[in-house]
Structure 1
């Protein structure tokens, strides 16, 4: 084999080695890790609160609402068309740098009537007053609280409206004759606080 042929073979072998080893070439790298630390979450809660002279979180009796002929008087025997109110108090727990939460009550409440009265109907609403905080204020249903209201007292005024009835041919019947001489027991009155997104 002459020198020229040997040189060509050597060059070809070197090229193959370089091509085959291209995937194994490396460059220098490094990694460093530091401690991430920790962060703490806030809280959101609502708890029934007994305020003297009451022995429960709510007033003992329902009373007739403002604007009624007997406003402020205790309800003894209601009739369709009446609007009655009851106040209940709650303690607010609200902490978080960017916390905001809506305060709501449901529009209806489960009621058990004795004897049974299929046509009985009642609507529920609520307004709120916040005290014991830097900015005492009224809050409408769906209004918001923030961490500035932490440990505040929320007084909910529930408004129950008993719609004026239909006659016996109403479709559907509402507060008709079967609602005479009944006891209407309202289930628990609920107030909810639900976080709203500060960064929608």
Structure 2
């Protein structure tokens, strides 16, 4: 065999070996550890409300401020409750809200009974002492941490329909009704501030 043929075969064999071992070529690597450290989560809490016992007629209503004894459709009744707010977190934002409707325990049951809920929130104190009044569904932030939240809960008993309404709302079956107002929950819900 000629030297040139032997050299070509040797070169071809070297190429095959290199291609076959392409995945196993060695190269240098190094790594170093970063100190993971720790981070701490914020908090979002609201105490149970401290409320007066009696419902009164809401501001702007007939008999405003008087205790409710015998309500009728068209009335708006009100109660004031205070809560303590804890809101910590670098980028914390949360809505504070009341439900829009609720069904009290009714005696006797009234199929046409309808009650609507709304209210306003007075925020006092906090980290920034940012005293203000906000509407149902507005936001609080960590600036409000440590605040006292005074909630004015307004329950509207809509004037309703006559007995031919479809559906009948706050009709004759409400007469003499005893409405036991169970807990009305104030809810904090975190929102994405970005």
TM-score by length of 2: 0.91
**What does residue 54 of structure 1 align with?**
none
Once the two structures are superposed, residues 73-99 of structure 1 have per-residue CA deviations (whole angstroms, 9 ceiling, x without a partner) of 100110111011011111111000111
**What does residue 161 of structure 1 align with?**
156
Q: Distance in 2 between matches of 1:117 and 1:27?
A: 82
SS of 1:21's partner is helix
Q: Distance in 2 between matches of 1:138 and 1:124?
A: 18
Q: Distance in 2 between matches of 1:60 and 1:130?
A: 22
Shift, 1:70, TM fit: 0.7
- Where do 5+ consecutive residues of structure 1 fail to align? 50-56
Runs of 4 or more, structure 1, over 2 Å off, are 24-27
Shift, 1:114, TM fit: 0.3
1:94 correspondence with 2:118: no
2:130 pairs with 129, 135, 139, which one? 135
1:74 pairs with 30, 55, 67, which one? 67
CA contact (8 A) 1:113 1:185 kept: yes
RMSD, aligned CA: 1.5
1:52-63 maps to which residues of 2 (within 5 A)? Answer: 57-63=50-56
- Where do 5+ consecutive residues of structure 2 fail to align? none
1:85 correspondence with 2:85: no
SS of 2:47's partner is strand
Shift, 1:7, TM fit: 4.1
- Which moves more between the two structures, 79-88 or 8-17? 8-17
1:3-18 maps to which residues of 2 (within 5 A)? Answer: 5-18=2-15
**What does residue 189 of structure 2 align with?**
194
CA contact (8 A) 1:109 1:187 kept: no
Query: How many residue pairs get matched?
Result: 189
**What does residue 112 of structure 1 align with?**
105
TM-score by length of 1: 0.89
1:28 correspondence with 2:25: no
**What does residue 53 of structure 1 align with?**
none
